Structure formats: structure tokens, C-alpha cells
Structure 1
Amino acid sequence: MTYKKRASSFMLLDSFLIISAFIFSLLIINEPSRIMGAGFWLSCTIILFSYHAVSYLFHMNKKAWQYASIDELTVILRTLTAAIVLKAIAQQVLFATVNYRSLVVTWLLMVVFIGGSRFIWRIYQERQLQKSAKGKRTLIIGAGSAGTMIARQLKRNSSTGLYPVAFIDDDPAKQHLEVYSLPVAGGTKEIPEIAADFKAEHIIIAMPSLERRKLQDISRICASLDVKTQILPRIEDLMTGKVSVSEFREVSINDLLGREPVDLETQHVDASLRGKTVLVTGAGGSIGSEICRQLMRYEPKALVLLGHGEHSIFSIELELRETYGAASTAFFPEIADVQDKDRLQRLFAEYRPDVIYHAAAHKHVPLMERNPEEAVKNNIIGTKNTAEAADIAGVKTFVMVSTDKAVNPTSVMGASKRLAEVVVQHMNERSETTFAIVRFGNVLGSSGSVIPLFKRQISRGGPVTVTDPEMVRYFMTIPEASSLVIQAGSLAKGGETFVLDMGEPVKIVDLAKNLIKLSGSGAEDIKIEFTGIRPGEKLYEELLDKGEIHEEQIFPKIHLGRPSLKNYDRIEALLANYTLLGKDSLREKLLSLSSEAATIKEGTPEEANVKTAMKSKENSKVVSI
């Protein structure tokens, strides 16, 4: 129905209801003789004119009554009250008398008739929607303002493919009641039973203000069911229209890691970066690009984006210019290879950076096992070149991004990063530049991360490949990792190794199981295949060697490792002659040099790593979850 037809229909209906209300008011106050009397039609004309004029002024006929609520009821009351007041004024002017009893009763009847007609229309529309409603039976966890908003929208919007059947809420005052005709079936501890009773096919967690620990508990319960689960974004985003019902986010693995995200306090970082020239190597990578984004909050004078891949450097420069184009920071994209010593020295001499974050590295474990020479060239020699160029250019602070795989390494990648750490610590001993190291666990969402791989495998119907059922890893997010790098630069005194407190390590197979369950697929649909430990991989990662451990945290959530400077002469000898060694000999030499500081005791995780590194892929198997 067009707007004109709709408005005309409402005007005719309202006119009929208003005249009916006036007639009934005369009958109620026992003045039937006035009906059809001399002043009757004049009074009707006055009140109709008053009502329609005020109705037009208050946009009554522009309201979508199928969504009527308290606000629409308020508009009806204001319109009818104004119309009656105008009628009273007109009667006083024309007849010098006002029948207040008739006006009050007429007003009450108009509220009932007109308000009732609108809400009858809304009820009719909702009944029609309910009859045609088709979608997955959906449980809504949380019967508060967010949950009830979702219930209303899902009932009215069939395009979501979801239909609410019940609420779950821990508030005992709400349990056993109905909200929007949906029962509040019980508390969160009863989720499995309620999901079975209502044959739920979908769950929405609609408690955006709930503290993270409780949200994780609820997410784990939902993950134990073969039901797809989604979490409502922040209520502020819904209210401001940034997101809608169709934009529920999936329950991410961040919700299931069992710890609060680490939000490092970086107020004191400002002085070390504001107005300074900062250079980031590997600026196009997942870590390097996030470091660049976070650096912008401190308004450096210039940001040099150095990387080997032209597309990734172009992309991060374009993003920064689009996002921070109005900022005072100047952006300088530079294509360069950290293996090119002369090129680095010329660039550093040109820009004279105050701070360097060195994130350029090869980090793929199996690939580096097959290409140990490239690991030496990029990870060790590249770091040495960058550190020496920083020293020559008089850089104030140099922070190297390392990995937990550098601790008791069993892989070429881990060994190359450990030797790169020794290079940086050696440079700290002989340079005016302050050199420091930051070690990460596995970074969720970074290139090469296991999570995107699992999601791709699940989307293809499986199997999901896990190397070993006992393999565990420390996890952190890209923002956590990048924030730690920046924090380390401001705390460094020289030669330290900074490590973020990442809680307890998580089993890789548990991550896989949770992602499968949260995908909505049944246990019989997706399988997990154990492929065996790959060359160079460890079952357990460590963050610090026993000789490095410093008992106290230097800063909340940040541990500090003592410098461990050993074997530098032998490292230099290797770098001078590595091209003469075969692949296997080079691998053995890297592992030997990098692990000399570690003492492996019987019955420790380190011993288990050595043993599992020898496992064969022939022991792989397939299991269902």
C-alpha cells in the first residue's frame, strides 16, 4: 500500500472513530438529546479539524504501527490531548461555554478507539509474521535489554533465518515468566537441558556487558553442544546502528582461551615516540602492520615502512594514509631486503630513525627445515645487518621481534631466531643503541596461524589436521603482541628479553574441537586427523630458558629474561662459512650452536620435545569427535 492510500485510510478510520467517541460520550453523560442537534455537526467538525491538524503536525500517519511501542503511544496521547484542548478553546470562542464532562469522556474514548486500532493492527501483523515464521529454533541467552531487542527483531525479520523459542537468564526474578511471549526457561547452568527440550538449532549470547570470565564459561557450555553459537556485539554498537541483527559475530577462539586479554598500560610510552622518527622492518606483515597501526596513537613525526614485498607495503601505506591522513605523521614506504647491508645503511642514514622495530623474518617452521640457508640469510644475517645499521645511524632504541621457538630450539626457524637474539645482545654490549628482544607465543590471526587453516578445513567439510593430540601452545592476539613490542621499547635498558604473561598453554586439538563445534556442524560431519609431528616441531613451547628466568615481573603482565650472551665467535664463523655446508650439516650446526646454553633434564618437557621431534608421520591416525 502506498503512503497516500495508507494515510487516506487512516484519516477515514480516525474520523469515524472520533465521531463515534463523541456520540458515545454524549450517551455516557446522559445527554442523548444533543446527538444530531444544532451544534452537533459543528462540534464534530471542530474536533475532526483539530485532530487531523495536530495529527499532521505530530506525523501520526507516518508511524509504522507494526513496530508500535511506548513512544508511539506517547504520540497518540499528545495528539489527542492537543486536539481536545483546541476543541475546548473553539467551543469557548464560539459558544462561550465548554462541556468539560463531554470533553473528558470523549478524550478517554478517543484514546481507547484510536490507540486500540493501532495496536490491534500491530498484533495482527505480528500474528501474520508468526504464522509465516520459518527459521532455526533459537535460544537467546540473556533476557535483558539486549536479549529482548534481539527477540523482537528476530520475530519481525524472517530474513535472518532464525526464530526465537526461549530465553535463558540467571536472574531468578525473570525465570518462569514470559518476555515477548517467550518463556524464560532457566539459568545458564541448564543450557544443555533447555537446548534439548526446545530442540534448539542456534544459540545467541546476548549479554554484551557480561564480564569476560563469565562469558567464557557460557561459551564453553555452548561449545559442548552441537549447536552453532553467536555472540551479540557491544550494545552501544547496536544502539548507534553500527551493527545489526545480521551482524552477530561468531564465537571466536579468543572467547575460549581461558584468560582475559592483556591490555598493557602504555601512557608512559608517549614520551618515547611522540614527535620521533620510527622505522618498522617487515611493516607489511601481520605483526609489523599492527605495530604501525598502534604507533599512530603516539603521533610520531615520521613512520618508515620497510619491507621486501611491494604489495604488502603498498597496502599498509594506503591503509594508514586513509585512516590517519589528517595526522601530522609523515609516511615513507621503502622496499628493501634486510639481507642488503649497504641498502639498509643508506636508508638509516637518510631517515635517522630514533626507534626501530625489527619484525622482518622467516617464521614458517617446516619451510625453514627445507631451506635452512634462507633462514640463516634472513633471520640471522638480516638481523645482524639491521642491528649494525642501527648502530652506525645512532638509533636510540632497537627492538627485535623473536619467538618462543627460540627457547631450547628443535627447528631451524627456532635456532635461527635464537642466534639472532645472541647477535642483538652482542650488539647491545658494544653499541650506544639500546637493544632489546620481545618473545611471542603463537599469534592468533597472523599469517601462518593455525586458526585460519582450521577454518578453511572446516569450511571444506574437513578433515581438520592436528599434528599431535598432546601438542600445546601459548596464544596471544595480534594487538597484544604489537602492544608488547611498543611497550618493550619504552622499558628497555639494554639486552633484555621481554615476554608477555599469556596464561596457561592451550592444546591445539582443543582449539580444533571448539572451532568444529562452534561452526554448527555435527560431530559426525567433521573429523580430526592426527598427522604426526612435523620436522622441527615441539610438543611444548617454553618462554624462557632456566638460566634466563627472572622471578619478578618488570611490569604488570610482562616477564623479563636475563641476557644470555654466548658463542658469538662461533656464530660469526658460521655466518662466514654457512654456504659451504650441506642442508643437513647446516641444520645440525644451527641446532648445536643455539642449544648449547640449555641443559635438558630427564623427565622434563624439554626431554619430551626431543623425543617427539623424532616421531614419524607414519603413526598418524583419524578420529571422530
Structure 2
Amino acid sequence: MGTIAVTGATGYLAEKLIERLITQGHTIHAIARNEGKLIALREKFKGVQIFPCPIEDYLLLKKALNGCDGIFHLAAFKDVILAKEHPLKAVQTNILGTLNLLKITVEEQNIKFILATSTDKAVQVSGTYGATKLLMENLFEDFEQINGSNCAYRIVRYGNVLHSTGSVLVKWKYALENRKELILTDPEATRFFITWEQAIDVIFSCLNDAQSAEPFYPPNMKSISLGILLELAIRKYAKTIPDIRVIGLQKGENKHECITADLSSEYAERWNNEELLNLI
């Protein structure tokens, strides 16, 4: 048991992670920029210490990490289109904010690990978001060389988490429940999807089993085409026959993603439709 910091603490996956850490007996420093959501988080999980702190702010981050034994770094500016439109913000959060965390792991000798979540978009880079995440991975490898004898630097890389904030599934669910137009890029495009339980499990597997900063990824990660995923969402949430507008892949988007250079969502094992229908 120890004191663990979680950045991006008010996000969907981070909240699930905090719940798991609390059951393990850890004290939590919840770090995020949204004070309202932080207050709600503290009301939900009594005893969580909250820090309204964007990771770009080095001094506030130093305060938030005081006394921490480890860091789970989930904060990110991750919308692909917004990152393309606002590269300065993507760099500030995903690279400079991460660099702040990494510097503090060198300065604070009590911090024994930092684990960050990355994305399949860092493998076949075609846009700003993927580029910033690839640089984040590279920074972890560099700091492992600098301070690896004192602190474990770990990266988890996976695809999309079902129901995560801002995901296409969340957008479609809202549109279907409110009888709004559905936006689909390319029905033949494929994406990796995992459940939040799988995402949390692989985070702890990485922390326990990984030996270096080389990205660690879930075994047997399954994919699905966006067209089939939309069909399943319509089956589950549609109140009437929806209007669908196909807009094509946008700048910064790949038709298929890769979790490694050798494992593409195009050829990966596909989700069983009925199994996925029960999860979405």
C-alpha cells in the first residue's frame, strides 16, 4: 500500500482505476484540471485527495506529487480532430505535461514507478495526436536510461476503450437516444476495442510483468469495423430509423490501426457481434 497519483483523474478509465486502487488500500492523489469533476470524484470516493492541476503547470504538479510513491499518467489531449486543429495544445499536454512528470520522478527519489497509457495511433502515425503519443513513448525510454535504476518507466499501449469519454460509441449512443443524425467516417475502417476491465487489468499486468519502457500491450486484442459497430449501436439504442451521414476518413485518421508494426486491426481477431452487443 502507498500513495499513488493519477493524472487525468476525472476521466472514464481513470475513475475505474482509482476505484481499483482504493480497494487495494492505496491513498490517492487525484490530479485533473476540472474542479467540478474533482469535487464529484471526492464525494464518490471518500478520502481521495484532489488537486486541480493541469499537468502543464510544473509548480502545481510538484505540490500534487509530494509524498507519492507512484504515478499512473492517464491525462491526455486525445481527440484526433482537435489535436490536428490545435497542435499547440496537444504538445503542451501530451509532451510538455508528460515531461514535467518525468522531471519530477528524477527529483523526487521516493517515486518508484510512473506508468502512462499510450495508443495504437503512435504506431502508424498519421496525425498530431499519434505523433505526440509516439514522442511520449520515446521520452519514457529516454528517462529509463537517465533514472531507471531508481524509478520504473512503463508504457501501456492499446486501442479504444468501450464507453470512454469522447469515443465514437458514446457519441453514437447520444445521437441515437436523442434522435440526432449519426456521423460515420468509413464503414470499412477497423479499430481495436477493449473493455475498461481489460484496460485496467493490462495496466497492472504491465506494472507487474514489464521489464522496461518498451510499450506493453494486451494479448489477443480484438477489432471490429466501424460499420458493424454502428449497426450494433443502432440495434441497441435506436428509437427510430436514424439518419446516417458518411463523411469519409478525416485528416489524421487511418483506415486501420496497428498495435505493433506486425499487428493490424484489419487482420486481428474480430469481436463476436453478439458478445460486443452485450458490452456496448
For residue 281 of structure 1, what is the aligned residue in structure 2? 7
CA distance in 2, matches of 1:457, 1:502: 31
* 2:92 aligned with 1:386: no
1:366 and 1:536 in contact (8 A); partners too: yes
Which residue of 2 is the match for residue 305 of structure 1? 30
1:553-572 pair list within 5 angstroms: none
Match of 1:537 among 245, 253, 277: 253
5 Å-filtered alignment, 1:368-383, equals 368-383=83-98
- Structure 2 unaligned residues grouped into runs of 5+: 267-280
Q: How does the TM-score come out when normalised to structure 2?
A: 0.87
Unmatched runs of 5 consecutive residues or more in structure 1: 1-274, 322-329, 550-603, 607-625
Give 1:499's aligned residue: 217
Give, in angstroms, the shift of residue 453 of structure 1. 1.2
Paired position in structure 1 for 2:198: 480
Q: CA deviation at 1:307?
A: 1.1
Secondary structure, counterpart of 1:338 in structure 2 = coil
Of all paired residues, the percent bearing the same amino acid is 26
Given residue 10 of structure 2, which amino acid in structure 1 is its aligned partner? G
What are the equivalent positions in structure 2 for 1:3-18 lying under 5 Å apart? none
Matched position secondary structure for 2:90:
helix
Please state whether the residue corresponding to 2:14 is helix, strand or coil.
Answer: helix
CA-atom RMSD in angstroms: 2.0
- Cα deviation for residue 521 of structure 1 reads 5.2
Aligned to 1:333: 50
Instruction: State TM-score, norm by structure 1.
Output: 0.40
Q: Is the 8 A contact 2:190 2:256 kept in 1?
A: yes
Does the CA contact (< 8 Å) of 1:399 and 1:436 recur in 2? yes
CA shift in 2, pair 1:299/1:367, >3 Å: same
**Structure 1 contact 440–499 (Cα < 8 Å) conserved:** yes
Paired positions, count: 263
User: 1:494-533 counterparts in 2 under 5 A?
Assistant: 494-519=212-237, 525-533=241-249
The AA in structure 2 aligned to 1:436 is R
Is residue 305–residue 333 contact of structure 1 (8 Å, CA) maintained in 2? yes
The question of 1:292 aligning with 2:18 is answered yes
Where relative contact order (Cα < 8 A, 6+ residues apart) is larger, the structure is 2
Q: Distance in 2 between matches of 1:518 and 1:284?
A: 27
Shift of 1:342: 2.8
> Secondary structure in 2 aligned to 1:482?
helix
Q: Which amino acid aligns with 2:139?
A: V
Tell me the equivalent position of 1:401.
Answer: 117
Does the aligned pair in 1 maintain the 2:190–2:265 contact within 8 Å?
no
Q: Is the 8 A contact 1:280 1:359 kept in 2?
A: yes
- Does structure 2 retain, via aligned residues, the 8 Å contact 1:379–1:417? yes
Instruction: Pick from 27, 49, 72 the counterpart of residue 357 of structure 1.
Output: 72
Distance, in Å, in 2 between the alignment partners of 1:477 and 1:451 is 12
| Residue type at the aligned position of 1:292 | I
Larger Rg: 1
Residue 470 of structure 1: CA displacement? 1.3
Higher helix share: 1
Is the alpha carbon distance of 1:502 and 1:530 closer, same or farther for their aligned partners in structure 2, counting shifts above 3 Å?
farther
CA distance, structure 2, for counterparts of residue 605 and residue 452 of structure 1:
21
1:179-194 map, 5 Å: none
Pair 1:425-2:150 in alignment? no
Partner of 2:270: none
Task: Measure how far apart 1:533 and its partner are.
Answer: 1.0
SS in 1 for 2:102: helix
Q: 2:222, 2:265 within 8 Å by CA — same for their partners in 1?
A: no
Map residues 198-277 of structure 1 onto 2, 5 A cutoff: 275-277=1-3
